[in-house]
């Protein structure tokens, strides 16, 4: 007989909290996938030469290829307070926008050095937005890795975008989280086939893909590391939809079903649209699960993808979970996945690399 405790999986399991030194990539690395997704945006990092080298190495592109990101390098005179960093930044932005006329959104991205010297990029972004309105919208967020992991760069970016969205009372669905283009297109096609009409995705591909938010907005996260974006949507009055994350056939089916339940899509319509793609996914997963079934899994904290990934690997691939670590655990977001983890799995949060 199943008890209430066993039905809750790891929902109420004690969390082993590690609060020592941690080793992660900083949030600047999220620019690598965000600049490809947001096709009219430019990400200007205000940081050091180390920031510039990190971005160039992570992206695998050369500066002369003119990607949609760059670094305004803080020199020794800026760090020592011998030069006006704000004026230097304004001059750099002016040169950039005069040369790259295709830019519609400019993100001023803070870094560890700019935060250490208390450079006020938020005020600079407001001032520059007024100066270049309506052609360019200038937005500030922090990509610093002092207290965050690399996926939280996207979270900070989306939180800043949501803060500036116009208000609307239209009934709509907003999906949070950058996805590969083919997955993004398949998702929107499935939602359209299910009968959902007013669907928006953040981040927008282009600024003209207008997104609004209000009390009749329902939203769901496609990525488990969007805690700050989740909180900002709730603050703006939007209603969250909770579901396991769309990892694997079961996770994706449950994620889509949660959306359909909110918007009153019938069970018959849901099954007619999702049965064929679900079967294809199950066949693909079965090939891999033959290799993974029965193997043990220990997930180190790195990206905040660990809990839904563990649920998928255990539930659909038959792996045995020893410990699932995550840099930060947002229980509202990953609660449905925690509930599906086998009871007795060790859950840990944070790192202590000196142990």
pLDDT band at residue 7 under the 50/70/90 scheme: low
Where is the domain boundary, 232, 262, 292?
Answer: 262
Q: Which pLDDT score is estimated for 63?
A: 58
For residue range 200-220, list pLDDT tens digits in order. 999 999 999 989 999 999 999
As a whole number, mean pLDDT of residues 80-93 equals 79
Domain CATH code at residue 114 = 3.40.50.1980
CA pair distance 199, 322, nearest whole angstrom: 39
Q: Which pLDDT score is estimated for 225?
A: 96
Q: Which residue has the higher pLDDT, 254 or 23?
A: 254
Please state the pTM of the whole predicted model. 0.91
Where is the domain boundary, 228, 245, 262?
Answer: 262
pLDDT band at residue 281 under the 50/70/90 scheme: very high
Contact 250, 244 (CB under 8 A): yes
172 and 117 assigned to the same domain: no
Domain assignment present for 326: no
Q: Which pLDDT score is estimated for 64?
A: 61
As a whole number, mean pLDDT of residues 322-329 equals 94
Q: Which residue has the higher pLDDT, 350 or 228?
A: 228
Secondary structure of residue 167 in the 3-state scheme: strand
> Does pLDDT of 80 surpass 70?
no
Domain assignment present for 238: yes
137 and 212 assigned to the same domain: no
CA pair distance 151, 261, nearest whole angstrom: 29
Contact 194, 269 (CB under 8 A): yes
> Does pLDDT of 154 surpass 60?
yes
Domain assignment present for 239: yes
> Does pLDDT of 269 surpass 60?
yes
pLDDT band at residue 4 under the 50/70/90 scheme: very low
Which run of H or E residues covers position 325? strand 320-326
Q: Which DSSP category does 342 fall into?
A: P
140 and 34 assigned to the same domain: yes
CA pair distance 5, 11, nearest whole angstrom: 9
> Does pLDDT of 163 surpass 80?
yes
Residues of the chain above pLDDT 70, percent: 93
Q: Which pLDDT score is estimated for 224?
A: 96
Q: Which pLDDT score is estimated for 351?
A: 81
Question: What's the number of domains the chain is made of?
Answer: 2
Tokens (6 digits) for 6 = 């066993």
129 and 182 assigned to the same domain: no
Which residues, other chains included, contact 137 with Cβ-Cβ below 8 Å and sequence gap of 6+?
104, 105, 106, 129, 164, 207
Mean pLDDT, rounded, of the chain: 91
195 and 118 assigned to the same domain: no
Domain assignment present for 269: no
pLDDT band at residue 157 under the 50/70/90 scheme: very high
Tell the residue number behind the tokens 């009153």, with chain if given: 264
Angle, alpha carbons 25-182-102 (nearest 5°) = 70
Domain assignment present for 221: yes
Q: Which pLDDT score is estimated for 1?
A: 33
For residue range 215-268, list pLDDT tens digits in order. 999 999 999 999 999 999 999 999 999 999 999 999 999 999 999 999 999 999
142 and 177 assigned to the same domain: no
Domain assignment present for 334: no
60 and 92 assigned to the same domain: yes
Which run of H or E residues covers position 28? none
What domain range includes position 55?
27-147
Q: Which pLDDT score is estimated for 6?
A: 46
Which residues, other chains included, contact 164 with Cβ-Cβ below 8 Å and sequence gap of 6+?
137, 139
Q: Which DSSP category does 321 fall into?
A: E
**Phi, psi for residue 129 in degrees, rounded to 5:** -60, -45
Q: Which pLDDT score is estimated for 65?
A: 65
As a whole number, mean pLDDT of residues 35-43 equals 95
55 and 135 assigned to the same domain: yes
As a whole number of Å, the CA-based R_g of the chain is 22
Contact 46, 109 (CB under 8 A): yes
As a whole number, mean pLDDT of residues 94-114 equals 94
Which residues, other chains included, contact 118 with Cβ-Cβ below 8 Å and sequence gap of 6+?
none
């Amino acid at each position: 007989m199943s008890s209430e405790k066993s039905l809750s999986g790891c929902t109420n399991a004690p969390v082993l909290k590690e609060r020592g030194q941690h080793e992660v990539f900083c949030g600047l690395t999220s620019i690598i996938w965000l600049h490809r997704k947001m096709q009219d945006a430019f990400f200007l990092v205000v940081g050091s030469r180390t920031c510039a080298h990190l971005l160039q190495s992570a992206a695998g592109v050369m500066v002369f290829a003119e990607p949609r990101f760059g670094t305004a390098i803080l020199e020794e005179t800026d760090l020592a307070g011998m030069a006006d960093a704000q004026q230097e930044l304004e001059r750099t932005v002016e040169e950039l926008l005069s040369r790259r006329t295709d830019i519609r959104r400019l993100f001023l991205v803070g870094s560890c050095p700019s935060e250490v010297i208390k450079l006020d990029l938020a005020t600079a972004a407001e001032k520059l937005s007024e100066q270049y309105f309506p052609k360019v919208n200038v937005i500030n967020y922090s990509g610093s890795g002092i207290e965050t992991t690399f996926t939280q760069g996207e979270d900070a970016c989306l939180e800043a975008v949501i803060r500036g969205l116009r208000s609307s009372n239209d009934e709509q669905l907003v999906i949070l989280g950058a996805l590969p283009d083919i997955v993004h297109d398949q998702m929107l096609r499935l939602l359209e086939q299910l009968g959902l009409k007013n669907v928006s995705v953040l981040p927008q591909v282009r600024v003209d893909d207008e997104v609004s938010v209000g009390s009749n907005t329902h939203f769901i996260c496609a990525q488990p590391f969007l805690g700050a974006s989740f909180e900002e949507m709730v603050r703006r009055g939007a209603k969250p939809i909770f579901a396991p994350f769309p990892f694997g056939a079961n996770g994706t089916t449950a994620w889509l079903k949660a959306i359909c339940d909110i918007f009153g899509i019938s069970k018959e319509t849901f099954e007619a649209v999702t049965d064929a793609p679900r079967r294809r996914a199950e066949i693909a997963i079965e090939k891999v699960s033959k290799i993974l079934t029965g193997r043990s899994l220990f997930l180190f904290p790195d990206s905040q993808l660990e809990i839904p990934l563990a649920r998928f690997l255990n539930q659909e691939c038959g792996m045995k979970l020893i410990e699932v670590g995550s840099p930060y655990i947002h229980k509202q977001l990953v609660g449905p996945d925690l509930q599906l983890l086998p009871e007795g799995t060790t859950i840990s949060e944070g790192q202590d690399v000196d142990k």
